[in-house]
Amino acid sequence: MWVVEWESCLQYCDHRKLAVVEENGRGVRFVNKKEKRVALYRVDGCLLKEGVKCDFLFLVIEGDRAFFIELKGSDLEKAVHQITRTIEQLGKWLPGYIFEGRIVTTRVRTPALKSTYLIKLEKMLRRTGGTLVVKAKWDEVNV
């Protein structure tokens, strides 16, 4: 399932074996060996123009997984807040999807790893069967 109203923010929707979401030297590689149907949407400045939001939404349509992606310098707490707000705003359009959070930073400050906002986001994602992963520079996901 993909949302017709979001078509103007769609960057691609196909069966590519490798999907890369990248910005400023940070990114996520999605390895799609089974060639499932996947879609990438630009959230920041397109799906959501106002308020706090993450950078991208990557959907694994054949598998019902939604990856909310924030590519950030080092402010982990702000990235957590951006993903949380995006899920609150867009999640209702994705019933039945497993929500996954991916934050890729230049570096992670250790005190930020224990943030109450981070714990709240992890609980939100767990309710759908998903997880939050925080990586420095790059992440790789098998879909």
If one counts the domains in the chain, the total is 1
Is 116 within a domain? no
* More reliable by pLDDT, 70 or 112: 70
Q: Is the pLDDT of residue 92 over 90?
A: yes
Is 11 within a domain? yes
Token pair belonging to 119? 């714990």
107-138 residue pLDDT tens: 766 555 567 888 999 999 999 999 999 999 99
Is 68 within a domain? yes
Is 135 within a domain? no
- Beta-bridge partner residues of 41: 10, 57
Is 80 within a domain? yes
Q: Is the pLDDT of residue 40 over 50?
A: yes
Q: Model's pTM, two decimal places? A: 0.93
Q: Residue 75 sits in which domain range?
A: 1-94
Look at 40-49, 71-80, 134-143 and tell me which has the smallest mean pLDDT: 71-80
Confidence tier at 1 by pLDDT (50, 70, 90): very low
DSSP secondary structure string for all residues of 51-85: SS--SEEEEETTTTEEEEEEEESS-HHHHHHHHHH
* Beta pairing, strands 18-23 & 26-31: antiparallel
Is 71 within a domain? yes
